[in-house]
Amino acid sequence: MGKKKPVVVVTRKLPEVVETRMRELFETRLNESDRPYTQAELVEAMRTADVVVPTVTDRIDGAVLSQAGPNLKLIANFGNGVDNIDVLTANNRGINVTNTPGVLTEDTADMTMALMLAVPRRLSAGIQALANNEWSGWSPTWMLGHRIWGKRLGIIGMGRIGQAVARRAKAFGMSIHYHNRRRVPTDVEEALEATYWESLDQMLARMDVVSVHCPHTPGTFHLLSARRLKLLKKDAYIVNTARGEVIDENALIRLLENNELAGAGLDVFEHEPAVNPKLAQLENVVLLPHMGSATIEGRIEMGEKVIINIKTFMDGHRPPDRVLPSML
């Protein structure tokens, strides 16, 4: 008699190739509707599963974890960030947490560069002008934007994604600056020709473009506060493909409305999936629906990492992408 397969509950629809492989390996319960779980459904999954595979849309806090069943030993997050999971409480209850790091780096960096080009060059406004039949032909003074060549880029968070953005931006002729909890190795700095700023405030005041790449933690909530946002130059741009909670969104809107900031490119929002309607009314912003990592290749690789984490854990070994409270 073969070994009993672990019960794995997947809270959102994943790429078909990933779901097929998961059903081959585990007793997998899929979400065919792709509708986000209610809290009651999430609690039920926690009670009955050996492994839960959540995504960023699932809030697994202490209240949910307190109702976990005795068989639940692993939360294999389908995502890089784990701010949707109370990792400390899970760890204290003997529940392992894993994520999918590294997979989304290049995709997110690509989207960051797309926004970094789209906002100063007014791509959204140009598309809208064509859609509204407002274009009467080329003009030397119409739809003027700003070049990014030669501009200073300030990166907040110089991890994998921050460094990938720096490589791209350097190729576009930008001067690379960064603020990070720890200074990156000298060889990385030299390769990127990057300047380290210990003081975030001092860096912000001198940048032409600021790009956010730090995780959302209690320490980074509203890291870009109203006070810090006011340090930015009036002709500066801000791009965020990390987490919406890092920026005080209301303060950002006020600056954009009053032309105290040149523009913003946002792929994430403070109260997702809700988007402040005031943002949608602004002409100096480009808004995307949290699609920075949305490539077929990336999603499949994420699924493969989830499968490896589950299989390694169920085989009695430490999963390669385990997240500990001390890492946050």
Please say whether the dihedral angle defined by the alpha carbons of residues 126, 127, 131 and 137, taken in this order, is positive or negative.
positive
Is 147 strand, coil or helix? coil
Catalytic residue among 59, 183, 290, 322: 290
Q: Are 228 and 204 in contact (CB under 8 A)?
A: yes
Whether 272 is catalytic is yes
Q: List, in order, residues 6 or more apart from 167 with CB less than 8 Å away.
A: 109, 192
Is 156 strand, coil or helix? strand
- Which whole-number Å values give the CA distances from 134 to 121, 142, 178, in the listed order? 18, 11, 40
Catalytic residue among 243, 245, 299, 301: 243
Tokens matching residue 326:
């001390």
Alpha-carbon distance 3 to 14, whole Å? 26
Catalytic residue among 41, 272, 304, 322: 272
Whether 297 is catalytic is no
Where would I find the H helices in 271-315?
277-280, 296-314
Alpha-carbon distance 18 to 25, whole Å? 11
| Distance linking the first and last C-alpha atoms of the chain | 42
Where would I find the H helices in the chain?
16-25, 39-48, 62-65, 87-92, 105-118, 123-131, 160-171, 186-192, 200-204, 226-229, 249-257, 277-280, 296-314
Stated as kind and residue range, the H or E segment containing 285 is: strand 285-287
- Which whole-number Å values give the CA distances from 231 to 3, 140, 236, 245, in the listed order? 61, 33, 10, 19
The catalytic residues are: 243, 272, 290
